[in-house]
Amino acid sequence: MATLDVAGVTKSFGTTQVLHGVDLTVADGEMIVIVGASGCGKSTLLRIVAGLETATTGRISIAGRDVTGLEPADRDIAMVFQNYALYPHMTVGQNMAYGLRIRGLPKPEIAQRVTEAATLLGIESLLDRRPRQLSGGQRQRVAMGRAIVREPKLFLFDEPLSNLDAKLRVQMRAEIRRLQRRLGVTSLFVTHDQTEAMTLGDRLVVMHAGHAAQVATPMEVWARPADTYVAGFIGSPAMNFLAGTLADAGQAVALAAGPVLRFADGPRPGPEGLPLTIGIRPEHIEAGASGLTLPLDLVEPLGSETVLHGRLPNGEALTVKLAGPAPAGPAIQVTLPAAALHVFDAASGKRLDR
C-alpha cells in the first residue's frame, strides 16, 4: 500500500515525443484509470511507472521513495498485461509462485499464499494446468492471481480486459473493482474504453496526445470536462459542439445557428465577440413545439431511447437523444437548456468558467 507520484514525466522515442510532461499524484489505496484514444501514450506512461521504459525527464516516486532509476524488480509492483504474459512452460501454481520463489519465501508460505489467492479468484482447481490449457477468462484470473500473491505496493493494469468477450468483460470489471477495494492496493488501470474508465476509477486521467488533459473523478469529468477533447471523448453519443461568440457583456452566447442563450450560471470573462465553442450533450437537448428547426438525416431507435442525427440550417451537425420512440416527420424543433451548456474558449479549447 502506497502513494504514487509522477512528476513532469516526458518521453521521446528518437525524435518523436510521446509524453509531454505528465503530473499525477495517486493517494494510498486509490484506483486511477488512465483513459484515452489509441496511441496517446497510456501504455508508455504505465511502462515508465513499471520501470520497463525510462522516462526522458521527470521523476517517479512510490511510497515516497524515488524509484526513477530503479529496475522493475526493485519497485515492488505487479502488472497485468493485455496478453496476460503467463509463463507458458509453468503450471498455474508455478506461475503464481514465481515471484515469491525469487523473493526467497519459505515453501509453506508460498503454498499458502498461492492457495489463498487462487481461492479468492476461484481458480483452485486449475493450479496444475498450463496456460495453454486455459480459456481467456481463466488466463486473465491467473494473471490477476500472479499479481495478488506478491502483495505489491502498486498494481498496474494495461488493458487487461480487452481480449475478453463483452459479457465476461463486464463481469471481470466488477470483480477487479471488488478485489481492488478489498485489498486496498493503489492501482493504475489503462483502458481506451470509457465505460470501463467511468465504472472502475476513483479518478480518471484523460490522456490526449501525451498530455493529461484532465485528472478528476468520473462524475466531474462528465459534468465539467476541462476541454473540448475531454468533453467529446467521455459520453456516448458524443457531446455536440456549436460555434458562437461571447455577447451581452459576458452574460450570453450568440450562437452561429441563430439564438442568443443566456448563461444560467453567471457571466464569462472575456471581450465581447470572443469566439466560443458551446458543448451540449445529446441527452440534454429538449424536443418540443418551438425552438430551432432540426431536419433529420438519420434516426437510430435503441428501444428505450432514440438517437436522432440532423443538421441545423447553418450546416452544423447536431445529435439528439430522446427518451421513447422516434417522433414522426422529417424535422423536429429543439431547444438548448441554458443549464446544460458547456462553455469553451474556441481558440484554446479550454473550459471557460465564471
**Which residue's CB comes closest to Mg ion?**
43
Considering only residues 174 to 203 of the shown chain, the ones binding ligand ATP according to CB under 6 A are 192
Of residues 132 and 167, the one with the C-beta less far from another protein: 132
Contact present, 310 and 281 (Cβ < 8 Å): no
Given a contact cutoff of 8 angstroms between Cβ atoms, the answer to whether 203 and 25 are in contact is no
What is the torsional sign of CA 48, 163, 32, 63?
negative
Which of 182, 214, 213, 219 lies closest to 201, judged by CA? Answer: 219
Could you tell me the CA-to-CA distances from 75 to 49, 149, 271, 318 in Å, in that order?
Answer: 9, 16, 51, 49
- The three grid cell numbers given for residue 30, joined into one nine-digit string: 486509490
Total residues at the site for ligand ATP (CB under 6 A)? 11
54-113 binders of another protein (CB under 8 A): 71-73, 77-79, 81-83, 85-89, 98-99, 102-103
Q: Name the binder of 18 from another protein, Mg ion, ligand ATP, none, CB < 5-8 A by kind.
A: ligand ATP
Query: Binding of ligand ATP at residue 50 (CB under 6 A)?
Result: no
Q: Which does 12 bind (CB under 5 to 8 A by kind): ligand ATP, another protein, Mg ion, none?
A: none
Q: If residue 37 lies in a helix (H) or strand (E), which one and from where to where? A: none
If residue 151 lies in a helix (H) or strand (E), which one and from where to where? none
Which span sits near Mg ion by CB under 5 A: 35-43, 66-74, 121-129, 255-263? 35-43
Binders of another protein among 36-55, rule CB under 8 A?
50-52
For residue 41, state whether it binds ligand ATP (rule: CB under 6 A).
yes
Size of the site for another protein (CB under 8 A): 25
Q: Distance (Å, rounded) from C-alpha 169 to C-alpha 171?
A: 5
43 is a site residue for Mg ion (CB under 5 A): yes
Rounded to whole angstroms, the Cα distance separating 180 from 10 reads 29
Shortest Cβ 90–another protein spacing (Å)? 8
Under the criterion CB under 8 A, does residue 117 sit at the interface with another protein? no
Q: Phi and psi dihedrals of 6, rounded to 5? A: -115, 120
What φ, ψ does residue 43 adopt, rounded to 5°?
Answer: -60, -40
Cell matching residue 26:
495517486
The nearer residue to ligand ATP, 43 or 228, going by C-beta atoms, is 43
Report if residue 182 touches another protein, rule: CB under 8 A.
no
- Which residue's C-alpha cell is 428505450? 304
Give the footprint of ligand ATP on this chain (CB under 6 A): 13, 18, 36, 38-44, 192
Give the footprint of another protein on this chain (CB under 8 A): 50-52, 71-73, 77-79, 81-83, 85-89, 98-99, 102-103, 130, 132, 146, 150
